[in-house]
Amino acid sequence: MTKLSVNINKIATIRNARGGNTPDVKLAAERCEMFGAQGITVHPRPDERHIRYQDVFDIRPVITTEFNIEGYPSENFIELVLKAKPHQVTLVPDPPDAITSNAGWDTVKHLNFLKETISKFQTAGIRTSIFVDTDLKNIEGAKQTGTDRIELYTEPYAANFDIDKESAVAPFTKAAEKAISLGLGINAGHDLNLDNLKYFVKNVPGVLEVSIGHALISDALYFGLDNTIKLYLRELKQIES
C-alpha cells in the first residue's frame, strides 16, 4: 500500500502573498489528514519564502499521521529537524535559490557528508530518506550512506509521461528493483499528478509513500481539498471508485 503525503508548501505560498494567516497552514495540515492523507510534508527553505521554520513547530503537535520534513541539510535545517523530531526527514540537494528541487544527490561524491548527517538523524530516532535519481550508482551509493529510504525524483518520469510512458517509467522500475535488492525503502515525488500517478505505482515496485504538492493543491482549487485527496487516494487504490 502506497501512502499519500501531502506537501503543504503551496498553502504557505498563498498565505505569504498577503501577510496575515490566511490560509492557515496548520488548519490545512489538519484538514488534509481529516480528508484521508496519510502524511504531511513540509519543505522549509532558507529564505522561508513558503513554509517558515516557525510553521514546522506550529504544525508538529497537530500531526496525527506521519510528518516528513524535507530540505537541504544546512546547520540550521539539521537543528530544526532535531528539535521538531518528525517521523521522517528527506534530504534534498537543492541550492538556497532553487525554485523547486531539481536534482537528486550524487551519493558517491557526497557519501561522507550524507553518512554523517544521516547518522545524526537516526541517532535521534528519525527515519531518513534521500532524494535520488534513477542512476544505479546513486542507488548503490545511497545504500552506503546508511539511509533507511530513498525518494525517487520523478520529474523526468512526469516530463516524459505524455510522450512515451513505458520508456518514462522503465528507469524507475529498474531503480526500485535495485533499491529493494539492497534493502532500501522507496518513496517518490515531484510532479506526480492525477494523470501519471496510477501508472507510476503500478509499474514501480515497493513504493511506500508518494509526496505530492503542486498538482494536488492546484487540483484542490477546482475539486476542493476533500475531493482532491480522495481522488489521489483512488489512484493509489485506497478508495473504491
Residues catalogued as catalytic: 43, 70, 190
For the chain, give the number of residues.
Answer: 241
The residue of the chain with the least Cβ separation from ligand PXP equals 189
Of 102 and 112, CB closest to ligand PXP = 102
Residue 10 grid coordinates: 503551496
By CB under 6 A, residue 172 contacts ligand PXP = no
CB of 128 to ligand PXP, least distance (A): 13
Rounded Cα–Cα distance for residues 30 and 24 (Å): 10
- Indicate the pairing of strand 185-189 with strand 207-212: parallel
Query: Per CB under 6 A, does 120 bind ligand PXP?
Result: no
Site string for ligand PXP, 41-80 (x = CB under 6 A): --x--------------------------x----------
In sign, the C-alpha dihedral spanning 117, 121, 122, 127 is negative
Q: Which is nearer to ligand PXP, 191 or 235 (CB)?
A: 191
**Residue 21 has what DSSP assignment?**
T
Nearest CA-CA partner of 171 in 194, 219, 120, 137? 137
Q: Min. distance of Cβ 195 from ligand PXP in angstroms?
A: 13
Cell matching residue 54: 516557525
Which three cell numbers mark 19? Answer: 501577510
Which residue in 3, 45, 178, 190 binds ligand PXP (CB under 6 A)? 190
Question: Which residues of this protein are in contact with ligand PXP, per CB under 6 A?
Answer: 7, 9, 43, 70, 90, 92, 100-101, 131, 151, 189-192, 211-215
